[in-house]
Structure 1
Amino acid sequence: MQEILDSIPHRPPFLFVDEIIESTEASMTGRRTWRADEGFYEGHYPGNPITPGVLLCEAVFQTAAVFLSKKLAAEMAEGERTPVLSRIQDAKFKRMVKPGDVVDIEVTYKETAKGFHFMRGRVLKDGKPCVALDFVLAMVDESKV
């Protein structure tokens, strides 16, 4: 967990990556256990709680931010950049995630163009896709955020 806290500005209750389980030059995999006591389940949906798709996507974006923080560490001064989402494309929701489910969050680096980092992400439960999407992150100078 400390690796994540050291890499991105997100903090509980809006931190949706519990651990990094694998990292390569071009990808990273995180893991998250969705806990039944998380407040959003009370209203989404009462009696049949489902993890909101937007939070599954956020878990992908946060994992990607950890990946980029590590990948770009040599190019950035410590604490100088904030990961900002600039585009979401082709999001597909294929399977529900319920309280107690453990998911793997995969992000793959595609390319960088003019400071924008193009990536692909997936959330998997029991090895089966729940969410798949393409997205773009920018690392923005904190003084401009």
Structure 2
Amino acid sequence: MTEVEKLIPHRPPFLFVDEIVSHEGETLVARRTWRAEEDFYKGHYPNAPITPGVLLSEAVFQTGACLMAKLMAGAAGQGGGVPLLSKVSDIRFRLPVYPGDTVIIEVKRKETIGEFHFLTGLMKNPEGKKIMNVEFAVAWKKPEGQVTTA
């Protein structure tokens, strides 16, 4: 089990953080390589694959979940709580991401008001060019029940 999998409950095929590069105080940096064999590329778009913006955003939010799990001193989903996305604003996409591209994701917690944690996320390529940025908030909640599958 990877460090990321120990921190957040997400699993493939819906895990979009490969590794944590660094964690210092209120900032966490992660890395993700978008693999050409990922199923969503078959439909987005055939013969011209590009990574959907919603999945780029999800990678940032999952990086934020890793940061929050570290800050809240417990693995998300393990009884200590999970970060629930509560607000997304000021999202900007600047460069496309293609199959095979590696991205660096940086998330910082700006402030906490009550149970809400306000974060900023930035995704860039290894050369430092900005791919996207977003402001978002999460609420740290303890699980209230367990979902069962049939």
For the aligned pair, the TM-score class normalised by the smaller chain equals over 0.9
RMSD of Structure 2 on Structure 1 (CA): 1.7
Shift, 1:77, TM fit: 10
Report the counterpart of residue 12 of structure 1 in structure 2: 12
Q: Please show how residues 22-33 of structure 1 align to structure 2 within 5 Å.
A: 22-33=22-33
Report the counterpart of residue 130 of structure 1 in structure 2: 131
Give the AA of the match of 2:143.
E
> For 1:5-50, what per-residue CA distance to the aligned partner results, in whole angstroms no more than 9, with x for missing partners?
1111100000000000011101000000000000000000111100
Q: Taking every aligned residue pair, what percent have the same amino acid on both sides?
A: 49
Separation (CA, whole Å) in 2 of partners of 1:32 and 1:78: 24
SS at match of 1:143: coil
Separation (CA, whole Å) in 2 of partners of 1:98 and 1:89: 24
Separation (CA, whole Å) in 1 of partners of 2:110 and 2:145: 26
Separation (CA, whole Å) in 1 of partners of 2:77 and 2:50: 39
Structure 2 contact 8–77 (Cα < 8 Å) conserved? no
Separation (CA, whole Å) in 2 of partners of 1:20 and 1:77: 18
Report the counterpart of residue 142 of structure 1 in structure 2: 143
TM-score for the superposition, normalised by structure 2: 0.91
Q: Please show how residues 35-114 of structure 1 align to structure 2 within 5 Å.
A: 35-73=35-73, 78-114=78-114
Structure 2 contact 4–66 (Cα < 8 Å) conserved? yes
Identify unmatched segments of 5+ residues in structure 1. Answer: none
Number of equivalences: 144
Separation (CA, whole Å) in 1 of partners of 2:40 and 2:79: 30
Runs of 4 or more consecutive aligned structure 1 residues displaced over 4 Å after TM superposition: none
Identify unmatched segments of 5+ residues in structure 2. Answer: none
